Structure 1
Amino acid sequence: MNIAIPILTFSKAGGHRVLAKLASIWCKNGHNVEIILCYESESYFPLDGKIKITHLRGKSVFDNLGKIIEYIHNNYYKYDVIIANQNRTSFYLFLGCIRHMNFSKCYYYIQAYEPEFYSFGFTKGLDNFFKVYAAISYYLPLKRVVNSNVYLNYKNLQAKRVVYPGIDLELYYPKQLTFFSKRIKIGTIGRNESWKGTADVCRAMEILKSEGIEFDFYIAFVDFDTIPHYFVKPDGDSKLSNFYRDMDIVVAACKGQYGAIHYPVIETMAVGTSIVCTDYYPSSEENAYKVDGSSPRQIAEAIKHIIYNKEEAINKRVQALRDVQQFGWPVIAQKFLDYLKEDEI
C-alpha cells in the first residue's frame, strides 16, 4: 500500500509522535510511506529510514499552500491512501483532490477537537477565524477516524472509527508495583498553557508542604516558580519512561475534552506508577485517583490518600497495567491499517 501523510512541519506535539510511529511501523511492514512537508524541518521523533520525506520549500505561506495542493493533485493516482491529521492539512487534502472528484482515498485522523484550542490566544487575534476554520474541517468529505470514543459524537464532529494513540510497551515497561520510595517522589509534566493544569499541581504541592507532608517534587520540560523542586528535561521516550518509572506518584491535571486519551496518563499507568488525574481514558476508580483538575485541594488530598493507603495504591497499579495493554503500538498500527483497507467508513 502507498500511503501519503501531508503535514505542515515536524514538531514535538503528541500528534506528530503518533504519526511518526504509525508511519514507521507501516514502513517496516512493507508499505510505502511518504511524509509531505510544507516547511522544511527534522523529525523530533524517530522515523524508519525507508520513509520518503518530501520538502516542498515554498517561498511564503501562500506559496506553500499552493505547492502542497498541487503536489497532492499531481500525485493523486500514485497513492492508495492520503491521511491528513490537522484542520489545515485537511483542507489542503480536500483542495488537492477536488479536481479528481474522488475522495475515497482521503482520510482525516482527528486527535483532538481543535476548535477549542483557539480559546487561548495562540493565533494572536485570529482565534475566532481559526475556530470556525477548524470546525468546518469536520464537514469535509474525508473519511474521519478519531483517536478516542469521546470524539465519535462530539459537538459538530461525527465519526465512525476509532484508533487510539499508542505507546511502546517494551520501553514503557513496569517497575516492581509494590515499590515506594522512602521519601515520596511526585512528578508532573510542566506546560505553560493554563488548561494543561501545571499551575494547579504546583498549588497542590504548596498545600502539602504547608501541612508538613514530606516529599520531593519533580517538574519536567517547562519549569514553574513554586516550592523547592527538581527540574528535569527527559527528552525522548527512553528518558521520559525512566522519569515516570522513578516517580511514586504522577499528577496529570489537564482540563477539557474529558474522556479523551492523555499521554501522561497512559504512560504512567504502563510503568506501574500511581496516577492522580482528571477524567481521561482509561482512568477509572479501579486504576487511578481521579480529581477535579481545577481543585488543588482535591489533588493534595488524593496524594495524601496514596501515601497513607499504599496497599490500595498497589492494587490500582495492578489494574492500570492490565488496562493499558490495549495501547501497544503493533495492535494500534494494525487496527488503523485494517480501516485503510476498507472501502468505506
Structure 2
Amino acid sequence: MIHQKDKMTPKERLQAYFKKEEVDRLPFTISLGEPSAKFLGISSFDYHHKADSIVETEVFCFNRFGQDGISVRTGLHGIAEAMGSKLSFAEKGLAAVEIPFLSLEENFQKLRPADPHKDGRLPMFLEAIERLQEKLGDVVPISAGLPGPFTTLSSLRGPEILMRDLHTQPEVAFKWMDIIMESFYAYIDEAAKLGVGFNISEPVASQSLISPRMFRTYVKPYLKKCVDRMIEKSGRKPSLHICGQTQKILRDMTETGVGTLSLDNAVDMEKAKIEVGNDICLSGNVKPVETILHGTKEDIFNEVKDLVKKLHDNPKGYVIAPGCQLPMTITLEKIDMYAEAARKFGKFPIEFDLD
C-alpha cells in the first residue's frame, strides 16, 4: 500500500516527520471531496447521500495521488442540516442552505442537539468513516471533517441575519451556540470511537466577514471547546482551516489548541511562520483556482517550489496543501501535476535548484 512514487506510507511518514526523524518527503494533502466524485462518474448528489460513493471516490483518489490524509466531511452545513436546516443538492455542485432552520421564528424554541445516529446525514458520514478506516486506516490517517460551531450557527440562522443578531441580540446567539455545541460533542464522541482524527473548517469566521474582536467573542471559545473534546476523545490535535484573510487572528487560532493551521492563499505564509511557526504546524497555501485550476504545469511547480523553500524549515513542520478546497471543475491531470510537484520539491534532502 505504498504509493509507487514513495518510499513510506502516509502514516509512517507523518509519525516520523513530527518526531523529526528521517522521511522520504514532506507530507502533502489535497482538499477534494465533492469535486472528485466526477472522476468515477458519480454525481455530486450521490456523493452527498451514499456512503458507497464516498468510500469508492476516496479510495480511488488515494490510490491515484497517494496524499497524506483522507477526510470524510459533513460539509459546511451537515450539522445544521441534522439540526433542522433544509439543504438543496445539485447533481454537479456543492450543497447549499435552502431554508435556515432558525430563520423561522416558530423554530426558535424547537432547536435541539442532533443525534449522530439518527439525524440528517450524520449516520451516513459515520458509516463512510468506519468503512474507510477498515480499508485504508492502517496506511493513511482518516479524519472526520466538521464545520466550526460559528459556521454551523450561520447555516442555521442565515449569514445576513446572524451578522445583524451579533449587534442587536448577542445573548440569543450565545444561547443557540450552547445547543449547537451539544451536537458537536455527540458527533465527535461517535467519530472518535472509530479511531480517527479531526479537521475543522470555519469559513464564516474569516476576517472578511467578522473582526478579530468578534472572533475572540463568538468563535474562539467554542472552537476551543471543540478542540478540547477532540483531543480528549481521540488523543490527537485536529487541524483548523478558515477561509480568506486570517493574518490578524493567527495567534488566536493557534491558542484554540489545534495542531495544524491550514491557511488560505490570502495569507502571507512567511509572516505566519514568523508569528506562530514556533508553536504550530502550517499547511497551505497553493492557490486552488488561479494556480492549480487555471495555471500551467510550470505555474504549479513554481508555486509549490516557492512555498517549500519558505516553509520547509518551519519549526513545527509544514504540509504542502492547496489554500482551500479545489473547485468543482478541477481535472485529474491538474491534481497529478500538483502531486508531482509536491513529491519533486518536497523530497528530502530539499534541493531548490531543481528545474
Q: Shorter-chain TM-score: which interval? A: 0.3 to 0.5
After TM superposition, the score normalised by the length of structure 1 is: 0.34
Identify the structure with bigger relative contact order (alpha carbons < 8 Å, sequence gap 6+).
2
* More strand by percentage: 1
* More helix by percentage: 2
